[in-house]
Homo-oligomer: A and B are copies of this chain.
């Protein structure tokens, strides 16, 4: 897989350029084109892929092991443990965003409250890219698609002279920056369809285990936001069901959701391709076709939530215009509802983009001023990465 990593790094400079320029349609197409549903549970080797939460747990176990062998337990360590136990949102600075989460959980789980929600109706939905993990300079799945083109190229000699593949293989950044929606759709269909669900799961699982982020030089799966991992855990500890509701590919995310977010496949709702039941070599298979089945973006998010869950969410978290309808629909429900948006305003520790609040514009995870105003008007909470988060990742990158 070394070659793949090299390609990933190559693709990265390219990706940075794509993000910096304006690729109008990348967003929708890339986010709406995976459908590799697992039929076999993914097995990850320890070490090759370690999630943010895993590394924390492993680290803690290791420390406890060392400390147990020592003559006395240091006071400092006890204090840290105690703090972690008392503050479920330890990576959050005190402020209105943290308080909104604490108040919401208190209110909806207190039987004496008029906002009490029975456990079976406690549903929390989370966008993934830019809300749970890094999405810049480009969606992780876009890196996957570009890497797949490089990897598949030897079997497609015609790509050397055929666009849009020619530009991808030549790392022709200016050409890529001007790809049309149709170009991207062609790349996604070629890289995400034509195999069975089981085969796609295997491909995605292997890729995510080794691919690294260009800037942070770490596996993408380590670039999960620690404060959001804490929110997921805190809500689950309070009997909320947590769902990922992503514009990205449902089956791509399902390849690692359990390992990375402790979210099982059935709680991942995303965009998907049409699949077809077929008997292949005497075995029934679900084959992935190069055709969009469902676009789980914008107004598609409340539709996806309703189709999969059958009820309105109680809490919803997002970070871009693609999440607006989900947050709006959630907030419009009766009783206490929590709608929150992550604002990427921390270019030192992560990235800064909007264009809300005068931040740099972007086509990847756009947070417009109009969305910001909508949030203010509707009583949603905006999370400032810079001010609200004590740290960004479990392992500081």
Contacts and interface: CB of A to CB of B under 8 A. Distances in A.
Interface stretch (A34-42, A56-64, A88-96): A34-42
A286 B306 contact: yes
A163 interface: no
Contacts of A298: 277
Contacts of A311: 37-39, 41, 265-266
- Chain A interface, >50% SS class: mixed
Number of this chain's copies in the assembly equals 2
Contacts of A37: 306-307, 310-311
A227 interface: no
Contacts of A397: none
Contact of A39 (B39, B265, B312): B312
Interface string A32-54: 00000111010000000000000
Interface stretch (A21-29, A185-193, A324-332, A349-357): A324-332
Q: Among A265, A286, A310, find the residue whose CB has the most chain B CB atoms closer than 10 A.
A: A310
Nearest to A298: B277
Interface string A256-294: 000000001110100010011110000110100000010
A268 B307 CA distance: 10
Given A265-B311, A284-B328, A332-B283, A197 B276 contact: no
B284 A329 contact: yes
B266 A309 contact: yes
A375 interface: no
A249 interface: no
Contacts of A293: 307
Nearest to A300: B277
Given A284-B329, A328-B284, A308 B308 contact: yes
B38 A284 contact: no
A31 interface: no
A276 B306 CA distance: 11
A239 to B, nearest CB: 14
A154 to B, nearest CB: 30
A250 B308 CA distance: 10
A277 B307 contact: no
A130 interface: no
A310 B272 contact: no
A116 to B, nearest CB: 14
A272 B266 CA distance: 18
A327 to B, nearest CB: 10
Contacts of A306: 37, 39, 197, 275, 286
Contacts of A329: 277, 284
A344 interface: no
B265 A310 contact: yes
A347 interface: no
A272 B307 contact: yes
Contacts of A250: 307, 310
Given A303-B276, A303-B277, A254 B310 contact: yes
Interface in A66-89: none
Interface in A302-352: 302-303, 306-312, 325, 328-329, 332-333
A299 B285 CA distance: 10
Given A310-B266, A310-B268, A311-B41, A277 B325 contact: yes
Interface of A: 37-39, 41, 120-121, 197, 250-251, 254, 264-266, 268, 272, 275-278, 283-284, 286, 293, 298-300, 302-303, 306-312, 325, 328-329, 332-333
Those 7 A-B pairs whose CB atoms lie nearest each other, nearest first: A265-B310, A277-B299, A37-B306, A266-B309, A284-B329, A254-B310, A39-B312
6 contacts: A37-B311, A254-B310, A266-B266, A283-B332, A286-B302, A293-B307
